[in-house]
Every structure is written in structure tokens, then in C-alpha cells.
Amino acid sequence: MAYKYKNYIFDLYGTLVDIHTDEEQPELWEKMAKKLLDEYGAEYTASGLREKYLLACKEETDALIEKTHAEYPEIQIENVWARLIEDGIRDENHKAETDGSKAAGNRVNPDDLEGLCIFFREASRDKLCKYQDTDRLLSELKSAGKKIFLLSNAQLFFTRKELEDVDIAKYFDDIFISSDNGVKKPQKEFMEKLLKKHGLNPTECVMIGNEVFSDGGVAKANGVDYIFVQDGDFSKII
């Protein structure tokens, strides 16, 4: 195969992997309310939890914008869940010294909430699979001596597990997740950090993704070519 570029930068969801999630389903919030109560002693109704979750996401985003002045900020979702656990305990006047919950009497460490975040993701998800030609494409690029990178608007705790589930992490020379960087595509600095870290010449790179605004936008901002793909059709990449 005659691949044109030296470096291939891929989006993940909707590009290499087909996924569907629904965070509005009432059953999801019923499951999460039960889990927070059972494991952390934080008490919510399902509807109350969803409302507080959306509010906490907004407040975390506003705080990040104020701190970094990013146009396209990306929060870490584990910080939201840490806040919700702490608030749920305080709001219901649990006795921190005696109730035995994991969070009792202490602030919750967001880094300890990977399991909770994965539970939330998997409870909201009804589809996760590679597109038919994903392995073939990535394997051929690797065999051709190309560098392959992932630049994904995503949450680390979600995506790390999902990359394992679909078994494609092995192909990438490096993986950049927006929640780790505080910004997301099309913010120029997100791709710029990848280019600088690996000393990549933008003219030797291509961004491949299914969203013109975010994937195409970040590529244009960094002087990188862009190839639009949809539904696992990689014919334009060759």
C-alpha cells in the first residue's frame, strides 16, 4: 500500500471504534444512585443525582475556563463524581465517624474512582466494537513503518478500559486523551502538544476523524492535512 504520510493521527470514537451511549436513560441514574449509596454512603434520588451531576459538570467546566482561559476545555469526570460523593454524604447528614463508608470523614480522592467511572460508562453504553477494517488499517500502517497516534476527545478512565476491550492500544506510538490535557479538539494546543512531544513536522502528518469541526478544526489550526472518514470507510486514507 502506498501511504502518503509519515505520521497518522487518529480520532477514536466514530472513526476507529463504533460506540453508542445514552446518559439520559432513567435506569442509568437509578443504578448510579444505588451504587453511590451502597459503596460510599452518599444518598440521592435518581433524578436528583442526574441534576446534580449536570450542575457539577458545568461548575467544573466554568472553573477550568477561569483557570486556563481555554476555548474548548475538558474536565476530568472523576472530579465530578468525587464532589457528588462528598456532597451526598454531607447533604444526608451521614455520621462520618461511624457509618463505615469509604468516603466517611475524608475527602474523596478522584484517582480512586476509576472503577466507579467505568461502571457509569458501561451502564450507559449499549454498543462498543471496532469497525470491520480497523485492525487491518492499523496493522498495515504499522508494517509500512508509519507512526500512529491517537488524539481523542475522551475521558481517560473511560477510554483506557475501552481501548483494552477492543484491543487496539498496541498499535499506537502515543495516546493523547483530552481529559488528561484540560483541552479538547479543536483547541490548537491539544494537537500542538503531541506534535512538539514527538518532533513531528506538520506537513508529514495527517489527522483522520469523523467530525469536521473538531478533527478538521484542530488539524487546520496546526497546519496538518485532514481526512474525513465515516462508518469505518477508510478508502480515502490509501
Nearest to 10 by CA among 164, 200, 137: 137
Domain presence at residue 150:
yes
218-229 pLDDT, tens digit per residue, is 999 999 999 999
Indicate if 114 and 145 belong to the same structural domain. Answer: no
Domain presence at residue 236:
no
Q: What is residue 106's predicted lDDT score, i.e. its pLDDT?
A: 58
Q: Which three cell numbers stand for residue 164?
A: 483494552
Q: What is residue 96's predicted lDDT score, i.e. its pLDDT?
A: 47
Structural domain that includes position 188: 7-16+131-228
Domain presence at residue 1:
no
Indicate if 67 and 105 belong to the same structural domain. Answer: yes
User: What phi, psi does 224 have (nearest 5°)?
Assistant: -110, 140
184-220 pLDDT, tens digit per residue, is 999 999 999 999 999 999 999 999 999 999 999 999 9
- Using the 3D structure, point to which of 125, 142, 159 is the last residue of a domain: 125
User: What phi, psi does 190 have (nearest 5°)?
Assistant: -65, -55
Query: What is the pTM for the complete model shown?
Result: 0.92
Indicate if 85 and 154 belong to the same structural domain. Answer: no
Indicate if 137 and 197 belong to the same structural domain. Answer: yes
119-176 pLDDT, tens digit per residue, is 999 999 999 999 999 999 999 999 999 999 999 999 999 999 999 999 999 999 999 9
Rounded-to-10 torsion of CA 185, 188, 194, 199: 150
Indicate if 138 and 121 belong to the same structural domain. Answer: no
Domain presence at residue 238:
no
Q: Which ranges in the chain belong to alpha helices (H)?
A: 26-40, 46-68, 77-91, 114-124, 134-143, 156-166, 178-181, 188-198, 217-221
Indicate if 49 and 114 belong to the same structural domain. Answer: yes
**Residue 98: how many CB atoms within 10 A of its CB?**
9
Indicate if 188 and 224 belong to the same structural domain. Answer: yes
